[in-house]
Amino acid sequence: MFIYDSVKKQKLKLNPESDVVRIYLCGPTVYDDAHLGHAKSAISFDMLRRTLIALGYKVKFVRNYTDIDDKILKKMSETGKSMQDITSYYITSYENDMKALNVLEPDIKPKATEYVTHMIEYINNLIKNDYAYILDDGVYFDTSKDEKYLSISNKTDDEQTQARVENNQNKRDKKDFVLWKFDENFYEANFGKGRPGWHSECVVMIKNLLDNNTQYLTDIHAGGSDLLFPHHENEATQCRCSEKHELSKYWMHNGFIQINNEKMSKSLNNSFFVKDALKSHHAEVLRFYLLSVHYRANFNYSDDDLQASKKRLDKIYRLKKRVYGVKKGLVNQSFKDEILNALRDDLNTSKALACVDELVVKANDELDKNPKDKNIKGEIVANLEFLNEILGIAMLDSFEYFQFGISDDEKARIQAIINKRNEAKKQKDFALSDALRDELSQKGISLMDTPNGTMWEKL
C-alpha cells in the first residue's frame, strides 16, 4: 500500500511499526450538524480503513470528538443549554449522518472531556521542563524551544502564520499557542482552574490510546487539510518536546470542499449540512459522489454533478435488480484485483469507480447473451457484495434504492394496492389485477413479479 505523506509531500510505502496499523482521525467539534467537509473526511479515511483491511492489514482506528471548545461555549450562550446537552445532541446527529453514509464505526471514539486529567498531567510536564509557561489568561507553549516547529506544515515564520494563533501581547513569541485557558467555570488544575485549549486534546488522546512505546505515537494521523496548520503542527511540537520523538509516522489530509467554486465557509453562508443534502438524495448517492474525486483533491460540490453521480449509481442498482434473489457465487478475481490495485495506490477511487463502470457494462452484456446462466449471475452478486465491502456502495435492496423520496404512508398505500392485486391474481380476476397495475403505473410506480414476491420502484 502506498500513501501520500502530507509532510514529505510524496507517496510512501506503508510500513507500520507493528502488525496493527494505528490510525487517528481528527473528528468534529460538536457544536453544530455535520457538513460536507466532515462527510468528505470521514468517507476518505473510511476508504483507507476498508482498503487496509481488504489488503490483509489489522487496523486500530480512533476518531475523536472535541466536546469542549470556544464554539461550544458560544452555542451555550446562544441557546441557554448545557455543554452536555449540546455535545450529546450533535454527537448523535453526527453519528446518524455517518451511519447513513455507511461509514464504519471507529474502534474507539474518545471525547476530549474524558481525558482532561491526562491533559493536565501532560501540561504539567511541559511546564516542569520549561516548554510551557503561565500568563494571566492561561498556559502557553513556547514554540522557540522546538527547532523543528513549522516542519509539519512547512510554513514560514511570518505574520500570516502568527495570525492564526491566540493573541496575547505578553507571549514570549507571537507563534506561541495556548494549552490551557483559565476559566472559573471548569476544571481544577494546580496551575489554575480552566479548560484545555484545542491543541492539547488530540496529542494526549493519541498517547493514551495508540502509543506502543515505539518511535512514533501512531502510524497515521489524518484529517482535513485545514488542520495541517495550526492544529497538527501544534500537536506535533508538543509531542517532540514531551515525548522526545515524533507524533506520527505518516500524515494524511483530505482536500477542501467548495460549493459552486467557492470555499465552503460559514462566513459565506454556504456551509452545506449533510442532513440537507440527504433530504433530496439518498445517502449512498452522496457517498458515491464524494468518492468520485480523489481524497486529496479539492472537491467542488454542485447539484448537477451530484445528479450525474446518481445516474452512475443507478446503473449499478439496475444491474443488481437483474440478479435479484440469485445465490452468491465467487467474486471475479481479476475485477477484485483491479479495484484493490487502484486503491492501494493512495486510494485512487476515481480509477476504482471506472473499473466499476466497466463491470456494469460487461455484466449487462453477458446477461443479455446468457439471461439464464446461474454462474454468471452468481458472480455478479459476489462482485456487487465486494463493492459493498470495499467501497461501501451497492449495499441496499435494489428495489428499496429506487423507492427513495416516497413517504412511509405512501409506501403503505402502494403495498395495500399490491396486496389487493395479488389477491385478485389468486382469484384469477386478471382484469382487476391489470387495472391495479395500471393504477400504480399512473402514479409512476413500476411492478416486478419475482420468486420473492412483487417488488416495486419509483420510475
- The 10s digit of each residue's pLDDT in 147-161 is 999 999 998 765 455
The pLDDT of residue 155 is 87
The pLDDT of residue 159 is 46
The pLDDT of residue 163 is 43
> At which residue does the C-alpha cell 481488504 appear?
54
The grid coordinates of residue 164 equal 492564526
419-457 confidence digits (pLDDT tens): 999 999 999 999 999 999 999 999 889 898 887 789 888
10-residue mean pLDDT profile of the chain (459 residues): values are 97 97 98 95 98 98 97 96 98 97 98 98 97 97 97 76 64 96 96 95 97 96 96 97 96 92 64 86 96 95 92 96 94 98 98 97 97 96 98 93 89 93 93 93 88 83
Number of neighbouring beta carbons within 10 Å of residue 167? 8
DSSP 281: S
The pLDDT of residue 168 is 83
Residue 220 · residue 88 · CB < 8 Å: no
**Beta strands 58-63 and 138-141: pairing type?**
unpaired
The pLDDT of residue 261 is 73
The pLDDT of residue 259 is 84
Q: Rounded to whole angstroms, how far apart are CA atoms 332 and 339?
A: 11
Phi, psi at 398, each rounded to 5°: -65, -25
Q: Where are the strands (E) in 267-313, listed by range?
A: 299-301
The pLDDT of residue 165 is 56
Q: What contacts 198, CB < 8 A, 6 or more positions away?
A: 66, 69, 231
